[in-house]
Amino acid sequence: MTVRKKKNQTIDYRPAIEEEIPDIARMFWKHLKAAPSCISHGEMQIGVATDRLTLAPDGKEKWMRHITAMMDEKDCRIFVAYSEDGIVGFSIVRIADDGGAPFGVLNNLLVRADYRRQGVGRALLTKSLDRLRRWRVANCYLESGRMNHSAHNFLDRCGFAPVSHTYHHCLTSKPR
């Protein structure tokens, strides 16, 4: 899928290739450093963040390992939005199965700030949901940092609805 956006640039939407993983990882890390309020429990669970507002000292390396492993998963796809400026957005979608019917998980959806509100996020979301439909999955879930209000508003406009709240309690005196 190709769409014209920003300054008459063409944006291509396609599956990521392995060589793009470092660029995707840098984009994600830069975003979290600039907006730690977007940290969600997913980043805490994989060790990228130590709590809801603090990135782990080795979080960048952990994220790189995590996204590299996802690239190799059979039921996972990473999509990129690519322009002459390079990667301007990405999404990660996968199938999970906790014993009931398999379901889709939108692990990440991120658009570079200067490309937001131009349809890039919606196009990446559409690609991700279309992939889940091809996999014959009936439901898609995602989690978002509780202070990521712009993402929440976007998801509301795209037909997603809140289901629950995720709580965290540290069982040690020092976060892991």
What is the CB neighbour count within 10 angstroms for residue 85? 13
Q: Looking at the domain assignment, is residue 163 inside a domain? A: no
pLDDT digits (tens, 9 = 90+) for 57-91: 999 999 999 999 999 999 999 999 999 999 999 99
pLDDT digits (tens, 9 = 90+) for 103-138: 999 999 999 999 999 999 999 999 999 999 999 999
Confidence of residue 174 (pLDDT cuts 50, 70, 90): low
Q: Looking at the domain assignment, is residue 164 inside a domain? A: no
Which stretches does DSSP call E strand in the chain?
A: 2-5, 9-15, 49-51, 54-55, 76-83, 86-96, 103-111, 140-141
- Enter the DSSP assignment of 117: T
* Mean pLDDT over the full length of the chain: 91
Alpha carbons within 13 angstroms on the beta-carbon side of residue 46 total 17
Residue with tokens 């997913």: 42
- Report the number of distinct structural domains present in the chain: 1
Q: Is the pTM of this model over 0.75?
A: yes
φ, ψ of residue 136 in degrees (nearest 5): 60, 40
Residue ranges making up the domain that contains 137:
2-157
Burial class (CB in 10 A: 0-12, 13-18, 19+), 131: buried
CATH number, domain at 127? 3.40.630.30
Residue 5 predicted with pLDDT over 60: no
